Structure 1
Amino acid sequence: MQVIKKLEEFKTLELMEKANKITLQEHGPEITLERAIFLSWWCDKGDCAFCYMSTQKPNIKDPKTARRKFDAILAEAELCQRMGWNIEFLSGGYGSFSTSEIKSIAGQIYEITGKPVWLNIGITQDLEEYGEEIEGITGAVEMANPKKQKEICPSKSIEDISAMLDFAGDLGFKKAITIILGLGETPSDLKYLFDLIDDLKIDRVTFYSLNPHDGTPFENQSPPASLYYAGVVAATRIKFPKLEIVCGTWVDNLANMGPLILSGANGLTKFPLFKMFGTRYGKRVEEEVYWAGRKLKGTFTDFDQLLNGPPAGALEPYIKRYIDKCLNNKSK
């Protein structure tokens, strides 16, 4: 494919220029802030080579202790609503919550935000249990090259993920996948990703760059180069003009955001929200969007939006706890 060839020939800037024009034409100038709300820090599988949960499992005797409280989850959703953030998806490792519990959480978030939520809860066929509270289902593919993916994620095959997403589509749900760059893929592996997007009729892709965790095989590996990351996103945007693309980056790589936006990102994710809100890092996010010539939906600095919300009842102590963290940032 031509876009893959250009990436291999280091013509990233050429790809970015074309991708930027396509993005503005098809999606407009708005950039969203996306928040993945975690349900727990436990996973029954616990064997994805890059994941910090692979290091957690031996240290957690009772998985229930790794579950978040319902009210804390709902309070986070309320604050996202106040700040104008999208909830990217509800995310939890295998075996953390039952289907009925996840449905209940999603339903209550739907009541708070007025928007159905996406799920990223592993491979499941219990999708018929969900209804209007769910917009779409996400498959955590991570690597699209089948051989490499089996080595990195031995317990979640692309075949099983694809079957789940096909079923989700039959039920009327939207479909998404997540991809992590920096796990040993090459530009030529994009052909597998493009085929997967085509075959499954994917609506959204979330790209992440590797965040090396201690105790994993990747602990001493660097995240991928910023222009490589941007080139992959640009090539994907050119190939799929209408695809929703969300890009994740961490605090130590905030300079990635401008190039990623110009390469086709519609949304930005993977931020430690309550550590960054109101800090110079939060302001940096807003500046990256501004200097990319885009309009930001939501805020990373406006305390008035954060503080002004409807009475929250039982959620109030949890909301106060999160707000206090942000106010403490402001005082630094």
Structure 2
Amino acid sequence: MVCFEELKSKIPRGYKLTKEEALLLLNLGNTEIVELFSLANTITRRYHGNIVDTCSIVNAKCSLCGEDCSFCAQSVHNHTNITPYSLMQTADLVDLAKCGEDMGATRFSIVTSGLSPNQKEFGSILHTIKQIKEKTSLSVCASIGAITGKRAAMLKDAGLTRIHHNLETSKSFFASMCSTHTYEQRINTVRIAKESGLEVCSGGIIGLGETPADRIELALALKKLNVDAVPINIITPIAGTGLENIVPPSPLEIIKTIAVYRLILPDKSLLLAGGRESGLRSLQSLALISGANGILLGNYLTTKGQSPQKDLQMIADLGLTVHSYV
């Protein structure tokens, strides 16, 4: 039996939801989930008000990555129809950042495929960060794979605010998704970024074949690492990948997961990210009043998103407002 009123009182006082409690909440039936969603929304408003964080990303380098992540369309071990290209020029990335700002994003993330950029690419990324900071009011983020302490310091000096580096799933399940690097390596990158004074955006993908316990294990790992933001992606089965035939979870199951993540991570930003359109379908707006307080605008790495105008209208219709740094 879940006492929602008790959790409503205890969580703001620092109560940490146990794994057993979280699993119980994930397994609630449809007659009880409205109370769960309401509690998650109450906690969200207490910590984040009516503000929705918005960001946009660019796939700045799309190459056949040597890592074997089974869900990824950019892995050389999968057989997809993506068209690879080298790192984009600074001027083009600045133009895309301006487009992101114009469509309502307050953050812009430079994303590159591969385990880590080479020295020439890294130098170009540093220059691009400086140019975006100079020519926009955006907070600049980067998702460039594994980083060293030295590179983290250089990124921060260039004006980078936040590193994005997903854990993807639980430690228990990760090895079944990827064998070319370890979960510990991913955690190490998160720790390096935090120790360097950078914010960290780290989350995962729902629907890889993981169990409810795996989802809770991931949330607890992110809490332990004290990440700043958690993007919640939903699997989009892509032909040619190892998960092309997987059946994604139902929209309500996804929103239950988001709601429970909010109770585990009350003060963190939870962002609806890749796969939300196909995964949540007509329930996207429900997720924004059931624990999520952020949204990725525009397109994703290898899949299309819905129009930013539609997203901004959805946010306004809920009585929420977009975060602004201006």
Shift of 1:296: 4.0
Match of 1:308 in 2: none
Give per-residue Cα distances to partners, 1:35-66, cap 9 Å, x unaligned.
Answer: 11221111432411011112688799x96x44
- Shifted more, 175-184 versus 261-270: the winner is 261-270
Match of 1:260 in 2: 287
Match of 2:26 in 1: 7
- Structure 1 stretches of 5 or more lacking a match? 299-332
Give the alignment partner of residue 136 of structure 1, picking from 148, 153, 162: 162
Aligned: 1:107 with 2:130: yes
TM-score normalised according to structure 2 size: 0.80
- Look up the equivalent residue of 1:49 and give its one-letter code: S
Give the alignment partner of residue 82 of structure 1, picking from 71, 79, 102: 102
Give the alignment partner of residue 45 of structure 2, picking from 24, 47, 64: 24
Give the alignment partner of residue 207 of structure 1, picking from 223, 232, 244: 232
Match of 1:218 in 2: 243
- Shifted more, 20-29 versus 152-161: the winner is 152-161
> Does the 8 A contact of 1:3 with 1:15 survive in 2?
no
Match of 1:323 in 2: none
- Look up the equivalent residue of 2:296 and give its one-letter code: T
Shift of 1:203: 0.9
Report how many residues are paired: 292
Match of 1:171 in 2: 196
Shift of 1:282: 4.8
Structure 1 segment 1-332 matched on structure 2, within 5 A: 1=18, 2-10=21-29, 11-54=32-75, 65-94=85-114, 95=116, 98-125=121-148, 126-132=151-157, 133-144=159-170, 146-248=171-273, 249-252=275-278, 253-269=280-296, 271-272=298-299, 282-296=308-322
Equivalent pairs: percent with the same residue? 21
Shift of 1:200: 1.1
Shift of 1:109: 1.1
Determine helix, strand or coil for the equivalent of 1:54: coil
Shift of 1:15: 1.7
Task: Give me the whole-angstrom Cα distance separating, in 1, the residues matched to 2:211 and 2:192.
Answer: 30
- Look up the equivalent residue of 1:80 and give its one-letter code: G
Task: Give me the whole-angstrom Cα distance separating, in 1, the residues matched to 2:246 and 2:320.
Answer: 32
Task: Give me the whole-angstrom Cα distance separating, in 2, the residues matched to 1:286 and 1:153.
Answer: 36
Task: Give me the whole-angstrom Cα distance separating, in 2, the residues matched to 1:259 and 1:266.
Answer: 11
TM-score normalised according to structure 1 size: 0.78
Task: Give me the whole-angstrom Cα distance separating, in 2, the residues matched to 1:3 and 1:13.
Answer: 16
Shift of 1:16: 0.9
- Look up the equivalent residue of 2:210 and give its one-letter code: E
- Shifted more, 198-207 versus 94-103: the winner is 94-103
> Does the 8 A contact of 2:223 with 2:265 survive in 1?
no
Shift of 1:177: 0.8
Determine helix, strand or coil for the equivalent of 1:130: helix
Shift of 1:20: 0.4
Task: Give me the whole-angstrom Cα distance separating, in 1, the residues matched to 2:311 and 2:137.
Answer: 26
Match of 1:316 in 2: none
Task: Give me the whole-angstrom Cα distance separating, in 1, the residues matched to 2:228 and 2:242.
Answer: 32
CA RMSD of aligned residues (A): 2.8
Task: Give me the whole-angstrom Cα distance separating, in 1, the residues matched to 2:95 and 2:256.
Answer: 37
Shift of 1:68: 2.5
Task: Give me the whole-angstrom Cα distance separating, in 2, the residues matched to 1:51 and 1:34.
Answer: 21
Task: Give me the whole-angstrom Cα distance separating, in 1, the residues matched to 2:160 and 2:321.
Answer: 27
